[in-house]
Structure 1
């Protein structure tokens, strides 16, 4: 069972009707075990996705040579999102047999990243995108303003 709780000066209390009903099933005086997490801000997550979509719209794959022939790779949003995370320093190293390893983007799932860590990822993502892709933007604030406008219009 997952509950939404709000902290008051004296206790944690149900924050919504579903949580209130769920707690009625626990007898008074019973001890329960809970894992407490603070959910991330959904609006900020949408803002991050707006940033990624803005950048993805600016991305056009370039032809490359592969095994002696020229190809133009297709665009893939999920792989692009992972590339941005890696460029922003949100990655881990994964070992393979021998001495091989790969760099993999870490998860941005709500349960894997605190709000503070997610805000840092957002900021570092803008920096990485300015350096690698969004050259038509003059600075961080211009990207931030554009993302905020997108969120206001479509969020």
Structure 2
């Protein structure tokens, strides 16, 4: 889900004609998919246009996830898991990938330090752009200096990197 904080900037004087034009474009150029959603959309626009200077509203959008891309990503994770020697449990492997990709919340640890807590990649938590961003970060991590060596320590750095590329190559899109 993509979220933005939006505020009304009244430092730019808009004429009534400009406001009316903007509202007409926003209510006719973009519409709710049905009557209920159109009413929600109009209510949101009225709220946004009536904000006082400096007042803030939060706007959230969700782009539906692509089932095809989801299956591709999950198959890639599974292929790497099956090829590696380090992890016995897929959930722990996935958490390691999330941490490596930076898909975490930083929280207080049990001894007072800060530790990474992996975030969800579920359909409810991530829309399509966020999933693709995570996927790209995961690939950057897997192709980085540490992942392959960690997964195939017995191979040495060069052979481990080759092994990673062999697995990833099968998933080039």
TM-score relative to the length of structure 2: 0.52
Q: Name stretches of at least 5 consecutive residues in structure 2 with no aligned partner.
A: 1-27, 45-59, 149-159
The structural deviation recorded for 1:102 is 2.4
Deviates more, 1:96-105 or 1:49-58: 96-105
Q: Which whole-Å deviations, capped at 9, do the CAs of 1:112-139 have from their partners, x for residues lacking one?
A: 2232221121112122222312622575
Distance 1:114 1:93 in 2: 21
Task: State the match for 1:107 in structure 2.
Answer: 120
Higher relative contact order, structure no. (Cα contacts within 8 Å, ≥ 6 residues apart): 2
Larger radius of gyration: 2
Query: How many residues matched?
Result: 115
Q: CA RMSD in A?
A: 3.3
Matched with 1:83 is 96
Say yes or no: does 1:147 pair with 2:171.
yes
Q: 1:79 to 1:32 in 2, by over 3 A?
A: same
Aligned to 1:119: 132
What secondary structure is seen at the aligned counterpart in 1 of 2:105? strand
